Structure formats: C-alpha cells, structure tokens
Structure 1
Amino acid sequence: MTELLDRAEDPARMIRMIILEMEETLVELRASAARSIADAKEMKRAIGRLDEIQISWTDKAELALSKDRDDLAKQALIERQKAADMADGLRAEMDQIHQVLKSYEADIAKLQNKLREARGRQNSIAARLESAVARAKAREMMHGARTLDAFSKFEVLERRADFAEGRAEALGFTSLEDQIHELKAAEKVDAELEAMKAALAARNK
C-alpha cells in the first residue's frame, strides 16, 4: 500500500480507492457470513428432523420386539443408525461452519477498525491539504509577482495623485508683485468709495 501511495500521482485519490476496496471487501465478508449462518440454520433444522426420525425408528424397533419380530426390530435399529450417522455428519459440518463464522467475525471487526482508521486519516489528510493550499495561496498573494506589481502600480498612482494635488495648490499661489498690485487696487477702490460717500453727503445737505 505504501509503495502504491509513493508511486501515485494523486495520493488522495489512491486513498479513496483503497477505502472503496476495503468497503467492497467488507460487504463480501458480510455476505459470506450471512450465507454461512443460513447454512447453519438449515443444518440445525435437518438435525432436528433426523433426531425425530431416530425416535421414530426406536419406537418401531420396540414395537417389533414386543411382537417377537426381532428381524424387523433389527432393521429399524439399522435405519435409526443411518439417521444418527447423518445427524452426526451434519453436526460436524455445523462445528466447522461455527469456526468459519468466528473467523469471519474476527476479520470483519479488524477490517472495520482499519476502515475507520483509513477514513480518519483520509479526513485528516484532506484537511491538511486544504490548509496547505490556503496557506500557499495566501503567501502567493502576499509575495507573488501579481501582488508586487499591483503595489508598484499603487505607488505610481499615489505619486500621480501627489503631483495633481501639488499643481492644484500651486495654482492658488500668488506672487509678491501680484499681492502688491492687489493692495493698490484695493486702496483705489477704498478712495473711490470715500469720495462717493462725501459727494452723497454734500448733496444731502
């Protein structure tokens, strides 16, 4: 089994195949045990019938003796012995079947334990494989070329945004000359405003 797993391209698939084979073997063992149990029951019924036949031949032999028919009694005892021999033969076969059933029982128990162990290991291996794949994806995401390329593009975009924001701020700046010009213009407006107020006051008087 270990060599098969070592050579397998897909160990998980090989484990599933082994478990399937074990399950099929377990079904076959149970079917064989069921047939043996059925055979034993049939033999038990046959032995019961042969025991009844022996009792019947015993009664017949006693009847023949009571009638002084030793010849008939002897024949009855011969028939009784045949039935007894057949019953003994069936009992011997039943003993063998019981031994086989014990063997089946032990094999089934061992195979069930192995199957439970295999299923447990299968689940454990599946969980480990899933975890390993998830970790590999996470590391690829953190350190992979696509992620690094994306972050390098982020940096380029951030630099572009900084530049655009700088231009917008720069457009709002005014030179010293512009500021002085604005002061002069404001001074002229203030003078005109005062002149208008004075003219308006004079007219009102």
Structure 2
Amino acid sequence: MGMFSRMSDIIQSNINAMLDKAEDPEKVIRLIIQEMEETMVEMRSVAAKYIAEQKYLDRQAATLQKDIDNWMAKAELAMDKGKDDLARAALVQKNSYVEKLDVIESQKTQVSDMLTSVQEDTQRLHAKLAEARQKQKSLVARKDNASVRLKARGVTHSTQVENAMARMDSYEQRIEHLEAQVDAYDVVGSSSSATSLEDEFKALETNDVIEEELAALKKKRAA
C-alpha cells in the first residue's frame, strides 16, 4: 500500500503541510511524486478504458438506430398497403430496439459522466504533480546551497585554516623585519659616506694651515 490510500487524498493533499510534518522532506516529496506518477498512469488507463467503452456504445447505438429506422419504415410500408397487423408487428419490433437503445443511451451517460470525472481528477492531479516537482527542485536547490554554505563555514572556522593564517602572519613579520634591516643599512651607509667625505675636506684644510704656519716659522727663524 502506498502513501495514499485513495486517489482523492493525492488530489486534495496539502504538500507543504505534509513536508512540514515529515522527518525527511526530500524522501517524502520523492515518494509523493512517485505515488502521483503511478496514480496518473492508472487514471490514464481508466480513462482509456472509458473512451473505448464509449466508442463501443456509440457503435451499438448507431446499429440500434438503424434497426429502429428500418422497422419504422416497414411499419409505414405495411400501413400504406393496408396491412395493419403487419404494421403492428413491425412497430413491436421497432419498440424492442428503442428499449435497447434507451439502455445503451443510459450506459453512455454513465460512462460519459465517469470519463468526465476521471479527466477532471487527472487535471487536478497533474497540477499537484507539477507543484510537487517544483517543490522537489526547490528542496534540492536549498539543500545544495546549505551544503555549500556549511562547507564554507567549516573552512572559515577550521583550526587548520587559523593556524595557517597565523603562520602566514609570522612569515610576513619576518619579511618586514628583513626589509627594515635593508632600509636601516641604506640609511647607515649613506651617513658614513657623507661623514668620510667631510673628513677628507677638513684634512685638506688642516694641511694648508699647517703649511702656512710652517712657512711663517721658517721665515721668522731666517731673519
């Protein structure tokens, strides 16, 4: 026995309410769709049976109508010929076919009503099936989206990721330290060069003064 005991349960079912009560909505919607598809096949089979029966009754009705017309024509012919007894017998035969035709017409009405009901139920079931399939797509999309988001959250809050980021920060600090050393070397190197050059000029100036003093001392001593 399937999820639904009657076809009307499927047609009148509130899919959202059923899913809200279900422990596994994805499984429930899959079973609902499966039950609907199987019921749809059964309903189409019943509809085909009614259509075939309707065509059969139409053929019987057409045959009976021919018999009725035929016996009516015979009764009229007998009347024209003054054969009242023969005309009466023809009318009796005609009426027997009329009774049979009435039964057939009654059967046709019943079959037509049942076929109409099946067609209406099939249309409603088809709409419910489309609703269920759309709901299934929505559930699958939401599940996939939730899975991807959960994976992303897991990666974001992963201890391994945090450790890796910490190591990257430490490595970045080491690089910054090395870069600072290079910058410091350039500053010290430039200052030393400037100082050495200034010392050389001072030395030259000092030598000139010494030479002048030495020349003045020699001149003084020679006098």
Structure-1-length-normalised TM-score: 0.70
Q: Is 1:114 paired with 2:128? A: yes
**CA distance, structure 1, for counterparts of residue 159 and residue 173 of structure 2:** 21
Q: 1:91 aligned to 105, 122, 125, which one? A: 105
TM-fit CA distance, 1:165: 1.5
Aligned partner of 2:96: which letter? K
The equivalent of 1:163 in structure 2 is 177
The equivalent of 2:10 in structure 1 is none
The equivalent of 2:161 in structure 1 is 147
Q: 2:58 aligned to 35, 39, 44, which one? A: 44
TM-fit CA distance, 1:111: 0.9
TM-fit CA distance, 1:157: 1.2
- Cα shift readout 1:58-92 (whole Å, capped 9, x = no counterpart): 22234345556566445434432332232122112
- Cα shift readout 1:147-201 (whole Å, capped 9, x = no counterpart): 31221121121122122213323444649xx67982534544x56xx8xxxxxxx
Q: CA RMSD in A?
A: 3.5
Number of equivalences: 188
How has the CA–CA distance of structure 1 residues 181 and 61 changed in structure 2, closer, same or farther, with 3 Å as cutoff? closer
The alignment partner of 1:169 has SS state of: helix
TM-fit CA distance, 1:33: 1.6
Structure-2-length-normalised TM-score: 0.65
Correspondence list, 1:186-197, <5 A: 187-188=202-203, 190=204
- Cα shift readout 1:26-51 (whole Å, capped 9, x = no counterpart): 24323432331242133223212211
Mind listing any 5+ residue stretches in structure 1 that lack a counterpart? 195-205
Mind listing any 5+ residue stretches in structure 2 that lack a counterpart? 4-17, 209-223
Aligned partner of 2:154: which letter? E
How has the CA–CA distance of structure 1 residues 174 and 79 changed in structure 2, closer, same or farther, with 3 Å as cutoff? same
- Cα shift readout 1:113-155 (whole Å, capped 9, x = no counterpart): 3213212322332332233223223322322234312211211
Aligned partner of 1:155: which letter? D
The equivalent of 1:199 in structure 2 is none
Aligned partner of 1:118: which letter? A
Q: 2:115 aligned to 101, 123, 134, which one? A: 101
